[in-house]
Amino acid sequence: FKEITEATAQFTSGRVGKSSVYKADLRGKTVAITVRKLKKIRDFRSGLRQICNAHHANIVKLMGGCCEGEHVYLAYEYVQGSSLADCLRNIRMPGFTVLNSWISRMQIATDVAQALEYMHHDTKVDYVHNYVKSTSIIITEPGYKARICHVGASYLAGEYEIDDNHEVNDSSKQKAVSGEITEEEESTGKPEQGIKLHKRSKSMKITGTQGYMAPEYVSTGIVSQKNDVFAFGVILLELMSGHEPVRYLSKANRQLERVSLIDFVNKLFLSDDQAERAGKLRSWVDPRLKDSFPVDCAERVARLAASCVDSDLLKRPDM
């Protein structure tokens, strides 16, 4: 902690925008120090060691960290680049994007998918990122590769509890009462399909970004890897359209209309008319891509995204 406070001049220098991230030099390396509120105390050193040992080309590596008082301080490698959100939506030049081809966007989707697959299946702990969004994905040059930031931060801050024996299935029900998770009686029948769930720490406020949060997380606070799958589906829709997950557009009567990427893709597949779907997709896909995409491929990606954002977490695919 002493090294971190000295590197950031008592957290008075190196702050990145209005975030709780600080750029600093630590032990001869440039790092990005993330500060998180500690929600629940756990075996911090063991968890830190496991996450520091995680290596993947599409993940921003955790170099080290500490727990002090009511906060955790995590030092990640500093990666030069821009967020996916900034690459897709340039406020100063809305008609321009460096991601101007279908292939470049599908490469980013692949990078993010591979990073999440690694987190979910190739580490010793079944990690849940829980904050996957276009602002937490860094695009680097050359080649516009994607890397996910803040891996392990939610886990180390104690934002969810590990409960390997708790699974969800069609006969399992959860409900939220006064900010705490309680469970109704489950069927004694053995489920054919089970998904490991993590309970958020009791009395913790649900935090997240509008448009990326899975419905079961919003309603109950239950955390699972299916939360990340849901957010990945939203990322796919962002890559296809270039738009934010949720927008509010002014109507002629000066009322604001809520426009959701998820609503669009759900309505799209209500139609059995392939020509109608193709027409809607062409008009919806980011016009800056011009004709660099085959419509049949776009429809397959849209179907994948729709399955990822299914309101029933059991129907979502695994990474």
Please report the domains of the chain, with CATH numbers, ordered by start residue. Answer: 79-184+193-319 (1.10.510.10)
End-to-end CA distance of the chain: give it in Å, rounded.
36
The model's pTM is 0.86
As a whole number of angstroms, the distance between CA 56 and CA 63 comes to 13
Determine the residue type at 61.
K
DSSP 71: E
Residues of the chain with pLDDT under 50: 163-166, 169-192, 201-204
pLDDT at position 194 is 55
pLDDT at position 257 is 86
Contact indicator for 199, 181 with CB cutoff of 8 Å: yes
pLDDT at position 200 is 54
As a whole number of angstroms, the distance between CA 150 and CA 128 comes to 11
Q: How far is CA 59 from CA 52, 115, 195, in A?
A: 11, 6, 24
Residue given tokens 């998770």 in the structure block: 181
As a whole number of angstroms, the distance between CA 118 and CA 316 comes to 18
pLDDT at position 165 is 43
pLDDT at position 192 is 38
As a whole number of angstroms, the distance between CA 129 and CA 224 comes to 9
Q: Mind listing the pLDDT tens digit for each residue in 249-287? A: 888 777 888 999 999 999 999 999 999 999 999 999 999
As a residue count, the chain comes to 319
DSSP for 35-67, please give it: EEE--S---HHHHHHHHHT---TTBPPEEEEEE
pLDDT at position 182 is 27
β-pair partners for 58: none
